[in-house]
Structure 1
Amino acid sequence: MRFPLRSSVSRGYTTPVEAGSTGAKLDRTPAEKGRSPPRRFYAGPSLERARTIDDLRAMAHRRLPAFAVEYLEGGAEEEATLARNLAAFASYRFLPRALVDVSSRDQSISLFDRAMPLPFAIAPTGLNGLFRNKADVLLARAAAEAGIPFIQSTMSNDRMEDVAAVPNLRHWWQLYVFGERSIRDTLVARAERAHCEALVLTIDAQFYGDREWEQRRFAHPGRLSLGSILEAALHPLWAATTLSGGMPSFANALDFLPKDRRGFFESAFWIRANMDHALDWDEAARLRDLWPRMFLIKGLLNPDDVQRAVSIGADGVILSNHGGRQLDWTVAALDVLQEARRRVGARLTLIVDGGVRRGTDVLKALALGADAALVGRATLYGLAAAGQNGVTRAIDIFREEIDRDLGLLGARSVKDLGPDFLTR
């Protein structure tokens, strides 16, 4: 079976990418004439041979069944937002500085008055139990070792308290608002008791995006099609490392679900159907008042809304279109970053996510005014490919690329970056 590895419109190339049993063909580049020289992403078992995030992606595609690949990769409707996230980064070019002493380079930043060695964190992603058993604990361990925050989703398949127990973790909790008010308040109280550093309120998922291709893998909501089940049976390594304890559950939401809706897919569809459509600025302000530590709002794209977040006392905003999985045809976070920064100045921490696949993507976001970037699918590729070691490899790839690209850009530190390093 073949899966797309990169949209043909994502980076300006014109030919599709295909994954086979031994690797994946690259988008056509100017270095190729016909099929020469042959170029394929690495999709074998050795992490040492994974040179890029796209290598980890090819490895993940080879290991996962089709329905899990579709959930990992898919976007809403025509997937125009999904493509825009990548194209937004591709629309900028660097203006490197020459004859700068870059014998030492520094990619460390300070985020909420705490130093961190890398300018990115791991984004909240749900249903990670589809890719590995104890997936969120593995992501958290890799993040803790790297000294970067991990944002755990309400739709995590590991208990909040189990993730909080990871030593030296900067643990942020992402809140989905569903069901009665008592549910969100209980989750906020648990996050406080677990000593989570920050609460991240996601506001762009009160309706579930129409991910058409994902739905084709199901016979009806909550039940995979027979074809999907049979195809999954052809992936014994995935089953052994993911389903050894049975199908995952939504450990942090389980107590709030009807007893007959606690299966993996059934509970996911129940939560989607019970999102609070009345979520508004008043409720966001109430949650801000309820939470004693850092409070961020995730999912804003309109600069007017970013400005309003200041007025309710938010400490930060994550500019995001939910990885292209909610409203189609929206702008990318990068498209509104400069205007958002102009509106709020230094009063608000601004973080961007969506489409971050390269160290150069992180550098572009920082140059345009972001305090940090989030990586989501990139670390999930590593997780699906090789568990915690795969996540660590993804983080290391970003670290290596950022370090090398700072030198090539003529910048000693990420703190030196600004819009003068970029042109359209």
Structure 2
Amino acid sequence: MKFLDLLRTAIANTFRSKARTILTVIAIFIGSFTLTLTSGIGTGVNDYIDKTVAAFGNQNALYVQKVSEPSTPGSGQEDGPTEYDPERANVQTGFGSIAGLTDADIDKIRDIDGVESVDPMYMVTPTYLEAPDGKKFQLSLGFPAEAEGLQLEAGETPDRSADEILLPASWVAPLGFDSNEDAVGKTVTIAMRNAAGETRAFDVRVSGISQASLAGASTSPIPSSELNRKLYEYQTSGSPREMPNTYFTATANLSDNAEVGPIKSQLADDDMLGVTVEDQLGMFRAVINGIVWILNSFAIIALLAAGFGIVNTLLMSVQERTREIGLMKAMGMSGGKVFGLFSLEAIFIGFLGSAIGAAVGVATGSILSGVLSNGLLSSLPGLSLFLFDPLKIVIIILAVMFIAFLAGTIPAMRAARQDPINALRYE
């Protein structure tokens, strides 16, 4: 018998005992269906992270912050106060005072080999934002976004050299704009109070509207670098004494061939911490991949159960067809072809269950993704919870077929070793 004859015979034999075959296919279907959905979740969420990575910043950069000094005797709460260091700068945040970067720190970063430029980020606290209709809102600014690819609803990212701001989509209606597109190009006013208690108004152009994202780009308006600098300069003006510059963080833009590891080490020597975009995303990816693997483990358990079902189905088939096997071998069919016949039956059962499971999984995931995107996940535009990679689907189907082949080897070997004379005498 040629291969195609073996395949046709195997497919026909699979449906001799429809009930056993259907039950086995259902078990394989469950495993394949679950693997397809979990694969879709992993691909969809990781794709969303990759698309919104620009909201975290430039991938070819290090984000540097001052590290709090290690605890020393006398620095703990129980040991009393820490001695004052006049060279140490602090930045006041909504959560208290933290260590800040000084001009000297910025110079140290700039002098490191592999660092092309440094953009310090100022911590500014505006008094309020005034809409074109005169309505005023509390304002907390995000950090300037220089990276290309920031997910936008309309417009573009702020020009770093202009007085521009990127508004979240959730701010458009409250500020009195008819739509995202209507807001782009309009002017809003930011009120800033300086050290002397004087308030000044800054007219700012709306450059674009940002989407919601894992990076939190939807929660706060994002100013351009130039606007951020101007606001900071006015905030620190009016003091009777000169106030040293203090920065919350700084962006170290690296050259293309720069090695991140040595640069991080040099920063650590000066009590500074440098993190990349991937460092920031690492926790997201670890949690997502961990959840996906836990879900995959349930699918693998289902497939193992299905494997035992294949063994049982084919062992029963071998027993029921003992005389038929003896007749085939008596007519010259080799043990290898008998083994191939039963192996093809196992593979075909695996293919049926995996293909149907994958198809239903893709259809179910696509429908759920659309429903969730318009409902529960509507606050995260651009997120497709289930996103299916054709290559991964093919790999799942082939992997399940391979598991089915392995499960079918025991009954297939038993059939191949049948003695034709004894098999013909079998009752």
Instruction: Give the TM-score band, short-chain normalised.
Output: under 0.3
Give the TM-score normalised by the residue count of structure 1: 0.24
Give the TM-score normalised by the residue count of structure 2: 0.24
**Which fold has the larger relative contact order, with Cα–Cα distance below 8 Å and residues 6 or more apart in sequence?**
2
- Structure with greater helix percent: 2
